[in-house]
Structure 1
Amino acid sequence: MSSSLDKTFQKLERDSFGRLILTDAAGTVHEGVVPVRAHPISAPDEGLSLVGGDGHELAWIARLSALPPAERELLEAELTSRDFMPRVLRLKSVSTFSTPSQWTVETDRGEASFILRTEEEIRRLGEGRLLIASSHGLQFLVQDRFALDRHSRKLLERFL
């Protein structure tokens, strides 16, 4: 990494097993580094911690977009593989307006079906954003519930 962006580390790369390796400013090599976003939904580009295998922070990156392209792409690829959160584009159907109910939705990753156990599994995040937890623990993001089509908004309003 460029020393002008962060003085706490010199280099970030992958080893032959695909794990991230960080070389800090003192020249110490840290294997199995994990990037963790401070605010993955509200500010995904801001505040990224590089955490070592022991769970301690090794480096802090204020803005992912400020990194040189190679390092940014490396971290974005790692984050993409870890942060699987489909975005709901449209609600296709809901089995019943009481819970538990089965939902069929269209996401940015294709069609998905899941069970919503209780209304409390729909969290309001502000600015029209919702986070819906399926019965299997998968999180679905509604980026802006007010921007959904009329049919989707009507189905969703029954649970809010």
Structure 2
Amino acid sequence: MRCHMRRIYVDKYTGRIEKTDIYLIRLTMKDGTVYEDLEPRMLFPYTNHTMYITLLDKDEHEIGFVRDLEELDSDSKKALEECFKEYYMVPKITSVIEVEDKFGTLKWTVDTDRGEITFNIKNRHSDIKHLYGTPRIIVRDSNDNRYEIPDIDALDANSKRKLFSYL
């Protein structure tokens, strides 16, 4: 059983962050304590990219917390931004080529900023999210990959028609 630890707030005065792998960091505290293989995650990835970042160990226990990237030294900030660029890389859907509905599973073929992609969506109600008050749509496929339609209104008429009944 894990004992309850106090939350460690990390800023330029308390610790330093270094990127060690594609998504992983090392946290070195001012007192010399080192935490290896931490995974940084944004608590609000769709609405706030620079604040409220948790640092999780391999068992997904929170080790540290960053209130704001601006409170870090420039190297630590850069390390987190590089991790996020990889972890939160979300292809942007630019047009919808085809949508098929087979036995409740949707099969989408779309053009993205990274090329043509075909993927399946298991639950249209929970996996297609219109972000309240914005023209953004976030889509999650059956493999837990995310895609974004940055502005539903900017899609061509044919793409909008294909998506209409699912939004």
Normalised by the shorter chain, which TM-score bucket? 0.7 to 0.9
Aligned to 2:166: 159
Give the aligned partner of residue 142 of structure 2.
135
For this pair of structures, how many residues does the alignment match? 155
Matched, 1:20 2:25: yes
Q: Secondary structure at the match of 2:83?
A: helix
Shift of 1:25: 2.7
User: Alignment partner for residue 70 of structure 1, among 69, 72, 75?
Assistant: 75
TM-score (norm: length of structure 1)? 0.78
How far apart are the structure 1 equivalents of 2:72 and 2:44?
18
Higher relative contact order (CA closer than 8 Å, sequence separation 6+) = 2
Paired with 1:99 and 1:26, the residues of 2 have a C-alpha distance of 55
- The corresponding residue for 1:90 is 95
Structure 2: gaps of 5 or more residues: 1-9
Q: Could you tell me how far apart the structure 2 residues matched to 1:94 and 1:123 are?
A: 17
Q: Match for residue 119 of structure 1?
A: 124
Q: Is the 8 A contact 1:51 1:59 kept in 2?
A: yes
Structure 1 residue 32: deviation in Å? Answer: 0.7
* Dislocated runs of 4+, deviation >6 Å: none
Uncovered stretches (5+) of structure 1, i.e. residues with no partner: none
Identity %: 26
Per-residue CA shift, 1:53-89, capped at 9, x if unaligned?
Answer: 4533333223335544432222122223322422212
| Candidates 48, 52, 55, aligned match of 2:57 | 52
TM-score, scaled relative to structure 2: 0.75
Instruction: Summarize the Cα distance change of 1:87–1:73 in structure 2 as closer, same or farther, 3 Å threshold.
Output: same
**Aligned-partner Cα distance in 1 for 2:114–2:68:** 26
